Structure 1
Amino acid sequence: MHIKRVELRGFKSYGEMTILDNFDRNFNAITGLNGSGKSNIFDAICFCLGLHALKSMRVTHTKDLIFKEGTGNVTEAHVSIIFDNTDKNNRPIGYEDTNEISITRSIKVNSTASRYTLNGNVSSKEKIEEMLASVRINMKNPTFIILQGRIKQVINMTPIETLGMVEEVIGTKNYEKKKADAVKTIEEKNQKLIEIENLIDNTIRPHLIECESAKEVYDKYEQAKREYDYVHKKLIAYDFFKNTIKIEKLTKDKEEQKSVIEKQKKELEENKEKQEDLRGRIKTCEDDLKNNQEMIESNKNIHEKQKEKAKIQAQVNLIEKDVKDDEKNIKDLQNKKVKMENNATHQNNEYIEGKNRSENLLKVYEESTKQLQRATDSYMAASAGRQMQQDGRTLTVHEKLNEAEKDLIRAQGSIKEYKMNIKHTERKLKEKSSKLAKEGNKGEEEKLKLKKLENEKLKIEKRLEACNHDPEIFEQMQVEAEKLLHEIQKLEKSIGDIRTKHGLPELDYTPPVNFRKEEVHGMVYELFKVKEEKYTTAVEFSFQGITSAVLSSDNTASKIAKYLQRTYNLLCMDKLMKLEVSEDKMIDAKRICKDVHNLMDLLEYDTKYARAIQRSFPPTIVCPDTNTAFKVCKSVKVNTVSLDGDTYSPQGLISGGSAQKQTRMLGTMKLYDALQTLKPKKEKYLNLKNEISKMSKIHNEYENIRHQMNQITGEEELQREIVSRSADNELRTECDNLKQELTTYQCHLEDAETKLATASSLVKQYKNEAENFEATKERILKEASEGLAKAKKNEAKAKKEYENFVEKFSTVQNARSTYQDEISELEEDMIKLKELNQKREEEIKCLLERISSIDVVLQELDEKRQKIEETFSEKNKEIKTFKDSLRSLEENSVSKSIDMNGAENSLKDTKRELENRKNYLRKLNEENPFISEEQNKFGQSGTNYDFEFFDIRKLEKEEGKWRKKLDEFNKNTNIRAAEAYVQKKNSYDELIEKKRIVLDDKKNLQIFINSVDAEKDEAIKYACQKVNVDFNNIFAMLLPNAGAELKAYFDTKNNHKINGLQIRVHFGGKWKESLDELSGGQKSLMSLSLLLALLRCKPCPFYILDEIDAALDTSHTQNVGQVIHTFFRDSQFLIISLKQNLFASADVLYKVSNMNGLSKVERIFNAKR
């Protein structure tokens, strides 16, 4: 905590509002000419903090603190200090959460009273002092203030005064106060002790000697009194106990009598109601006898309903007859269809056989036609001297001979060419083989490597097949999983938006370790949706489970209860009971209005959540409008709600729907659909992830094997290339190719030789034909003529057979088509009849429903008619019976009234007796205090009040005996003297005990004084050690190559008690014998060093120093600033100085000026610092 801002108005020379803002946390200096008002700022701070010593503020009267003593327009002095309280380690108690604290004090010219405010609230000086004391600002001992003359005082102090200054800093006044209080108490104890001893010696002891003679008689009196009291207490206790039991019995009797009276009153009321009911019935019966119009109306209604039923029944019978006829027709059609299908099957078989036969005959006919054409062409060619060839050409004998000779020449050339190629290839093969034999098996090693690689590749292929894994399926699964995850995230965002939009709370909990999430089923509103949107308002106003969550069991609830982030209503499915509108009530409601629904029927949900959902809705019937809801609620005694949200309960509670339609159920509908979509996707995603997880190991193994496969394949291809590029392999390949060529040439040579033989034979044949041309021509023409005649005959026969069969087959084909058409017609007829029968059955069903409803009405009408008939025959008897019952009830009422009056009188007697006994017990309790203390023992076995074993008569005799003895003692004994002895003896014992206590207190107080002295001495020693270290260091910094200490002088009788502290100084390690050896400046530096060291003993948040450098040289003032920055980094300093070297070291400088008696302040930020 440090000073942040000071505001002055009307204080001393500051007549106008003056603000000193933005004080630095460490070093602040105030300067200005003499008389400008510098010290008035410090006076203002001391004034505001509650300093009352006017001398310290350099005035003699409070009005001197007001600007111009209040003679001008300013009649009030006002000072405010705003403290920065952001340092968490140095905050006042009670203000730990306050970042800024303000204190204000003001006085008026005509008043000596001050007005304090703390943070804007009126406060007291004591409260402000208490707040400041919690941060070590002691206004009763303001050690944080060092004024101008303090340094000179320190220089002239004696060792005892120096010790007193240290004691003042560490607060030994508290020790002295404790000790003084203890000494004062001891003196009081001594005085008390003298008084006690005087009282014993002068008053108590002489009187005890005088009364001792009556002691023996008094003891006997006391013995008799104790015996009497013992017996009397037992009798009183017995009497109290007996009356208590009697009171309990009377209380019970009173309640029973009340119950009897209430019962009699109720019976009288019921009797009265029954009488009124009987009178009403008698009147109704008499009215019924006067008018029989109801019977006529009933008969008329029955006749009309029977007529309507007969008419409908006739329609039913007629339709049923048509149905039976159609069913018979359908059966006939079915049989006909089966028969036709059999015939069609047989016909179809004939058709297939005929079709095959027709196709074969057609082929034969087409072939004979072709043969006829060839025979005709052959005959025409023979007539022209030419012959038909197999390729269809017609050639003469010479043309055939020329072609055969050409074929012969071509064959001879081919043979020659093939022989040359064979010879050349054999020579080349021989050369390559010889070369290959010379090369040897140089490439065998590379081939073995290739073989080894091929075997390894084969093994890897088998391993790859053994994996039974398809990487494409695995990748597809991963893609599908990513797609599902994206869809799930999109759905979850949509669900979150729905929850936010419609104010639907989410089940927020942190699942414990090893917890099965499937045991939590979610919020109730997530488990259902309204089937139709028109019911959402009604459902919303009935819904009572917006914060209800569904769990599997109460065990689950106990597991997650402490992990819930908010309050929920937990529904445990294993503890829920069925809660719904009964069927009877729904039937009663339907009678009032058909368009009513059980609310649960309007919801879509999983049946396993039915009971949880029922618990969130009271059993409710949904009605189309407000009037219906009111009627159903009143008649059926069930909760109802209208479509507009108006709710009614049997207890009379009514609430209207909101003017603005609720949207929460619309939100739950969307949420339900989203959750239903999300659930299977999540399941599918989890299953996919599980499958992917299972397959990952196989996939990784597969990929490793495939990688090995790719690697070995590359090595194999490289090795194969190496083998193929080897010299012997190339030679072997060339040899193989040459062998293949040689085989091919040899085959071609054999074909050419065959062609040569054929061509030679044909040349020879055609030469013979050419030489015998005329004979050959006649023979060829004859053969052609015979062939033509035979071909014509075959063609005519084939044509006739085909045409005859086609004509016959067309009949089969037409019959088959006819069967198919007839079957289709039959099927259509059957379908039409079935559809017609279905319509008729539906019509019959409707008519039968009408008949059923008419039967119900007829039954009701018939029952009504029978009742009317019975009414007429028994009405008079019933009236007589009602009147007899009425008379009996009236007589019974008179009798019960008499009984009730007697019971009421008995109740009054019981109450009176009960009150008397209670008063008696109250009196016993007041007269005998032991009753309230020992009442719980009355009647208890093992106590003095076990009344079961009491002999009351014996006790009463003993009480009389002791009462008689006490009377005798009262007559013959000076009881007062004996009682006086006892009183004095008690007083004597009490005084002796008080004396002992006073002596013990004196002893304890002396021990406390010794401990306080020891504690004080220990505190002074510790303070001296701490001050010595700081005193030496500060003095060394102010005056280099110098040091100082406080030397302690101990008491000669008590080695632990310090009697004085002497200030010692050394320069260059040489101690001075006396402070008189020091110069004035050195003494001032020593004094200032000690004062600053004492400030560090109990650090304060801020310090006020007024011209402490007045006696210092300019060269030393700069070191003062260095000391402040070095030793007081966590404290704030406000210093008034006229020396530039000192205020130049400050972080912030305030410059004060005065004009015409009015002071002003200018803040200067020290940029050099």
Structure 2
Amino acid sequence: MYIKSIVIEGFKSYAQRTEVSDLDPYFNAITGFNGSGKSNILDAICFLLGITNLSQVRASNFQELVYKHGQAGIKKASVSITFDNTDKKASPLGFEDNDELIITRQIIIGGKNKYLINGVNATSTRVDDLFCSVGLNVNNPHFLIMQVLYASLQNPKRTEILAMIEEAAGTRMYECKKLNVQKTIQKKEIKLKQIQTVLYEEITPTLQKLKEERLSYLEYQKVVQQVEHFNRAYIAYQFVLAEETKESAANVLKDFQTNKENLQESVAKNEKVMTQLEEEVEEMEKKKQKEVINILRSLEEALSESQRANTRAQSSLDLSKQNLKSEEITYKSLVETMQEESKSLMSKEEGVKKAEEELNALQEASRKDADALAVAQHHFNAVSAGLSSSDDGEEATLAQQMMTCKNEISKAETEAKQAQMKLEYAQKELKKKEAEVKKRDAGYERDQEALSAVRKTKTNLEDKMKNVNYEEEKEKALLAEEVALTHDISQLRELYEGLMARFPYLQFEYRHFGKTWNPNSVKGPVVFLITVKDLSKARALEVTAGGKLYNIVVDTEVTAKKLLEEGELKHRYTIIPLNNISSRCAGPKTIQLAQTLVGYNNLYLGLSLVEYESELRKAMEYVFGTTLICDNLDNAKKVAFDKRIMMRSVTLDGDVFDPQGTLHGGNCWFCASSKTVPILCEVQEMKNTDIKLKTKMSKLETVKNELTSLKNVAEKYWKLKQQWDIKSEEAELLQMKLHQSAYHKQEEELLALKKTIAECEETLQKTKDTQKKAEDKYKGLENKMKNAKAECEKELKSAQQKLDDARKKADASNKKMKKKQQEVEALVLELKELKEEQASHEKLREAKQKAIQFYQCEVNVIQAEVSQTKESVEKSQKELAKQKQVILLHDEEIKAKSEEIVKYREENNELHLKLKELEYNIGKYQQEAADVATKVTKMLEEYKWIASEKQLFGQPNTPYDFKANSPKELYQKLQTLQERKQVLERAINIRAMNMLSDTEEKYNELMKKKRIVESDKLKILAAIEDLDKRKIKALHMAWKKVNEDFGSIFSTLLPGAKAVLAPSKNDILDGLVFRVALGNTWKENLTELSGGQRSLVALSLILAILLFKPAPIYILDEVDAALDLSHTENIGQMLNTHFRQSQFIVVSLKDGMFTNANVLYRTMFVDGISTVRRYQQLQGRKKCLREAEKAQKS
């Protein structure tokens, strides 16, 4: 197998597709100037053969293999070689059927590395196996001969030459593996020693311990058997007790059942008597219903009818009054509006007056502050003069203040004596009155009971009225609220329209585009899309935004285009599309730096002072994101021109500093002439008004819905209300009667005396506190007298501080007053706007006045009707009261019978309680009997031995003899054994038996494995000894063959010279050395040879070793660089003579080498790219062959 052609594209210096075609099957040479790409062809062959050590192809990574590292637009390197495979004996395994093999390797920068065999993808492993099968292992390349390789062999050690012979003979790999096996045996020896240590130090003691634990386990089993024996006897005793309890429970249940039957008979007897009494009461109720109730019902119906008529009339009256009130309110509102307009006109005509009032207030405040300053000055002067200030603020000497304290103490003592005398008198009277009130009047008690009954009826009626869900005052309140809301809505709408009329340029109107149009795509002017967090910064924000404040925000540029082209806009507008706006915003680091420079509370980013919807963020950054708001000129100037910040800044008064060097001040361009209030404040007021208007309208709708629902339940409510009124009158009469009784007056006197006692006690406490406070103050003043000088200095310092504070406050008030004076002058220009509204409101007032007159007449007519229906209701109520007295007589008779029924019912209740108690005891004993029976059954099921040994329970001379073996002692023994069992359970290893057998088994297994390992070691050592003998035999054969070829090749390269590989001592295993003879003189050392001769010796050895195991292809890279021309020519002749079965590709710069080649390739570097040209040299090849044949014959 040999190379027919090579195609290189993008590999190293070969940027374009370059083909090295028609390679000779025997001898090919490549020549060219340095750097023209000769060795790159050899690198390409090694690259395709699958080299992994990139340093051998002069690269550190795959990217360096691509032309100019992929930076010239070429991102892929590809090498493709066509092999002749007609010689089937030398074919790669698996490819005997292919006469030609085309193998390609590609790498892509940032991508993958792939192989192709005859155009089909293949793995790198498959390609490596293909080449290794024909002796072309590029990662151990004996077929690749480079100058560096044989240069290192010009003065080799004897062991290095021996190593090369071993490699050629194939014994080198055996030596490496033998060393690895010996190392492994050493490691196993260490492991065996560790196993021996574990056996004697761990496993053997563990076995001993497990044997001891086995003894403890046997003791534990004995205790378990004893526990089982005693436990069985104790269970038998428990079984006998359960059966005895079962029998006694049955006897008790029989007695309880007899008592239950007796109680049930008594209950049935009482039930019979109660039934008879209830029948009598029912008969009396029927009689009452027939004779009295029917008349009462007819009277109630008549009363109800009168009440309904009265209610209807009253409702009509209320409605008319509401209409009248509504019109009056509207009229009043209109008048108030007109008055407000008059006031507004006066404030606009007398706008100065309103401002002057504020100015006067400021002047008054300024005057007060000046007075406070004078007082502070006076106080300071007084303290400086030696006077002291008392708690009430008066200046006096300490002696005067002490005299005042004595007077307060004397006054408190006098008041305390008076209060004590009054208290003693009241307590005496209280005891006397309490003795008189002990006897209670029977009539008073009856009246109180009657009052309680009436109140209870009233409460029931109130509950029914609440259940109706109608509130008497709610409807009136809702009507009044409806009128008030209507008035408020009218005022708010008028106010909103007035504000909008004042700023017509803020109204953005456009033509809508049909049903498919989404109104939400147009957000509106910026001024309406923001909310100012702090209105004191409104003017600064207006200057910040400038004309952008009136830009229109939309969702996309498509919407903006449609508005401009088809929206029929009335004014020129700038539109901000949210999806296409380029916004900039100052970073947090810049803001933090600026705030550090001038103070955190003295500077803000304009964007942080407004609130907006999140979807509008880009638009708001565009308007407010690049300007800083500062509190004064100095700070604004400082941040604007600071080289680290350099941002536009605006003061609160509207002064602007621009980093470009411009400065302008004063009010904003659109409000500088007449309006002192910032437009953002006005817009905020418009927004607030609109919110209030919508809230009021929503509330009005709710009120109307509630009024509609209330009318449906009003009739039912008024009927209950009428009955409640009757009971209220009864309650008032009884309450009045009670209050007029002597007993009630005595109660009131008692309360008055108790109140007097409490007041006297409180007075005593107050005087005591006052006296104590005055005494403490007196002691304090005495201490001050002792430290008069220090106190005087302290008070003087305090007075100085108060004087300074008062002076600062007076200066501030004076500054505010002057500022207000400037504002007053600006209000004079706003007078003309309200005068025209007076005429229209006057006409509306006259219309409302006529409506009020109409409703007033209607109210008078309905008022008369209400009076008439009210008299009818009062008459019906009197007749109904008489009939109710008759009903009371019937109720007393029924009450007597009912009390007798209650008596029997209470008796039956007691009997039922006894029955329940008895049933509970029966259930308890039944449950106890059932539990015992369950226990007996469960014990029989759980302990099967009970049934067979039951007859032995309690019998003498048996294990169940409870007299001989006391159950108490039995239980104690059982407890002792169980405790011993628990101790053993904690101490023993229950698994000791199993663990012992397992451990013994593992011990035996480990010993068996140990013996196997020792046996295997002996076998391996025997095998190594046998292989060493074979290695020596193979090494001698390789040495003889390589020595023969070495001498032949060297003689060809250097005619007349001889060379051999001789053992350094008696055996070749000690190493090999070169012996060279020039003519008949043998050289003892290579140092006696020239550099070229040493190179020929090294090259001869390499070629001899290669000839021992020939490869189909050999690559020589400038191996003649250190040789003269005659030696170079001899190398070409030698290759033709000794390597007739292999293909050679030689890179050389010398004519002596490539003149012997059959085909010569010259590389050139043209425009930064390598190129190749082919030259046929068949004549030279024939000449060399003839000379080689002559040499062989001779």
TM-score range, shorter chain: 0.3 to 0.5
Give the TM-score normalised by the residue count of structure 1: 0.34
Q: Say which one has the larger Rg.
A: 1
